[in-house]
């Protein structure tokens, strides 16, 4: 079993090799090194060590994805598992209906989709399409992201594609430090369900909404395609790779950053700020009130 010092040193090596903002690495190493020299991590068990190191990382570099994580289940470091957790993530999505918790038609012909995770575009396309097909003829849509914990940037782009008329909308870019490349994300040309156009879209957020869930809210808001209601989100915008340090400890390293084409920046550290601030548990009720005012009354 490696010592706490060895665990921290390996975590710092991973951060040094991949963190998306290399200019911040000397400050990170100096701060953690000072705490290490002061004995701050001596005698800590695994969970306490992860909590302490993460807190110190956040103090010097408030990046919500930069963390040391404890997992109760042992994590294999075998080459077969060296996929950044992708296989486990895909299995989780399959078990959870590709992240779609519920689809409903509410009073007033308002569609509701509750999303807990953002599936990959490749595996999630049919499920996303099925959800959008069910709300295709609604008069307004509520996309509930209040408990969305994140997922795939490709999947976020696919969800957003339904709210734009064609494949000509440049949504955002992701710059990867390791490869020094920038990938563009555009709306998708071909979708398995009708696009949702010319009708109100309301996105619900909370302090739990994170990562790819924030991506959807931020992108639709920045493009003027949705009204965001609820609470400011957690503020994690950097795609991240997990590295196994011990059987139970992983370091998560943001290796890329998102750049929105409208704002030129992202939601890292600040979250998605709602257009209509309201406690998260009241956001759906407020969205339905707003929708009822926007939907043209039907002839009696």
> Does a structural domain hold residue 113?
yes
Check whether residue 144 and residue 205 sit in a common domain.
Answer: yes
Q: How far is CA 99 from CA 84, 89, 152, 157, in A?
A: 19, 11, 11, 15
Specify whether the CB–CB gap between 140 and 202 falls below 8 A.
Answer: yes
Q: What is the predicted pLDDT for the residue at 18? A: 92
Check whether residue 33 and residue 146 sit in a common domain.
Answer: no
Check whether residue 49 and residue 102 sit in a common domain.
Answer: no
Specify whether the CB–CB gap between 111 and 141 falls below 8 A.
Answer: yes
> Does a structural domain hold residue 110?
yes
Q: What is the predicted pLDDT for the residue at 80? A: 43
Q: What is the mean pLDDT of residues 123-145?
A: 97
Q: Residue 86: helix, strand or coil by DSSP?
A: helix
| pLDDT tens per residue across span 26-35 | 999 999 999 9
Check whether residue 115 and residue 170 sit in a common domain.
Answer: yes
Check whether residue 41 and residue 167 sit in a common domain.
Answer: no
Residue among 263, 63, 64, 268 at smallest CA distance from 172: 263
Indicate the pLDDT class of residue 78, thresholds 50, 70 and 90: low
> Does a structural domain hold residue 223?
yes
Specify whether the CB–CB gap between 229 and 283 falls below 8 A.
Answer: yes
What is the H or E stretch that residue 50 is in? helix 46-60
Residue 296, pLDDT > 80, answer: no
**The residue count for the chain:** 300
Give φ, ψ of 170 to 5 degrees: -85, 105
Residue 9, pLDDT > 80, answer: yes
Residue 178, pLDDT > 90, answer: no
Q: What is the mean pLDDT of residues 156-174?
A: 97
Total domains in the fold of the chain: 2
Residue 77, pLDDT > 70, answer: no
Last residue of a domain, one of 71, 88, 104: 71
> Does a structural domain hold residue 90?
no
Check whether residue 55 and residue 171 sit in a common domain.
Answer: no
Residues 294, 169, 271, 123: is their CA dihedral positive or negative? positive
Q: Spell out the residues 6+ positions from residue 161 whose beta carbon is closer than 8 angstroms to its own.
A: 167, 169, 187, 188, 191, 195
Indicate the pLDDT class of residue 1, thresholds 50, 70 and 90: confident
Residue 89, pLDDT > 90, answer: no
- Say how far apart CA 226 and CA 143 lie, in whole Å: 10
- Say how far apart CA 145 and CA 159 lie, in whole Å: 12
> Does a structural domain hold residue 241?
no
* % pLDDT > 90, the chain: 83
Q: Order of strands, edge to edge, in the sheet holding 100-106?
A: 100-106, 110-115, 140-144, 201-205, 227-230, 276-277
Q: Would you give the DSSP letter of residue 256?
A: E
Q: What is the mean pLDDT of residues 234-249?
A: 90
> Does a structural domain hold residue 177?
yes
Specify whether the CB–CB gap between 20 and 255 falls below 8 A.
Answer: yes
What residues make up the domain containing 146?
96-236+271-294
> Does a structural domain hold residue 184?
yes
Check whether residue 101 and residue 49 sit in a common domain.
Answer: no
Check whether residue 284 and residue 152 sit in a common domain.
Answer: yes
| pLDDT tens per residue across span 95-121 | 999 999 999 999 999 999 999 999 999
Q: What is the predicted pLDDT for the residue at 84? A: 60
> Does a structural domain hold residue 254?
no
Specify whether the CB–CB gap between 101 and 160 falls below 8 A.
Answer: no
- The highest-confidence range among 56-60, 89-93, 217-221, 240-244, by mean pLDDT, is 217-221
Last residue of a domain, one of 71, 105, 120: 71
Check whether residue 184 and residue 103 sit in a common domain.
Answer: yes
Check whether residue 60 and residue 102 sit in a common domain.
Answer: no
Helices (H) and strands (E) in the chain, counts: 8, 12
Q: What is the predicted pLDDT for the residue at 162? A: 98
Check whether residue 59 and residue 166 sit in a common domain.
Answer: no
Check whether residue 174 and residue 286 sit in a common domain.
Answer: yes
The chain-wide mean pLDDT, for the chain, equals 93
Q: What is the predicted pLDDT for the residue at 300? A: 42
Q: For residue 275, what is the domain's CATH number?
A: 3.90.226.10
């Amino acid at each position: 079993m490696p010592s706490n010092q060895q665990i921290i040193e390996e975590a710092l090596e991973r951060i040094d090799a991949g963190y998306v903002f290399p200019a911040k690495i000397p400050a990170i190493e100096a701060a953690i090194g000072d705490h290490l020299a002061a004995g701050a991590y001596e005698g800590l068990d695994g969970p306490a060590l992860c909590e302490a190191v993460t807190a110190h990382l956040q103090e010097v570099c408030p990046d919500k994805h930069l963390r040391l994580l404890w997992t109760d289940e042992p994590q294999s470091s075998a080459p077969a598992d060296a996929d950044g957790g992708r296989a486990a993530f895909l299995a989780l999505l399959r078990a959870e209906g590709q992240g779609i918790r519920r689809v409903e038609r509410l009073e007033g012909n308002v569609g509701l989709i509750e999303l807990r995770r953002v599936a990959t575009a490749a595996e999630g396309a049919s499920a996303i399409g099925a959800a959008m097909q069910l709300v295709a003829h609604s008069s307004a849509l509520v996309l509930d992201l209040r408990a969305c914990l994140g997922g795939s940037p490709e999947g976020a782009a696919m969800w957003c594609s339904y709210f734009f008329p064609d494949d000509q909308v440049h949504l955002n870019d992701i710059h990867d430090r390791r490869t020094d490349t920038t990938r563009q994300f555009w709306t998708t040309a071909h979708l398995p369900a009708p696009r949702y156009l010319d009708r109100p879209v309301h996105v619900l957020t909370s302090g739990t909404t994170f990562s790819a869930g924030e991506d959807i809210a931020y992108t639709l808001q920045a493009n003027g395609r949705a009204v965001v209601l609820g609470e400011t989100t957690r503020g994690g915008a950097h795609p991240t790779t997990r590295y196994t340090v011990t059987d139970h400890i992983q370091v998560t390293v943001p290796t890329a950053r998102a750049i929105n084409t409208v704002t030129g920046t992202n939601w890292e550290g600040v979250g998605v700020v709602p257009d209509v601030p309201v406690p998260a548990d009241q956001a759906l009720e407020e969205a339905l009130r707003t929708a009822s005012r926007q939907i043209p009354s039907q002839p009696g």
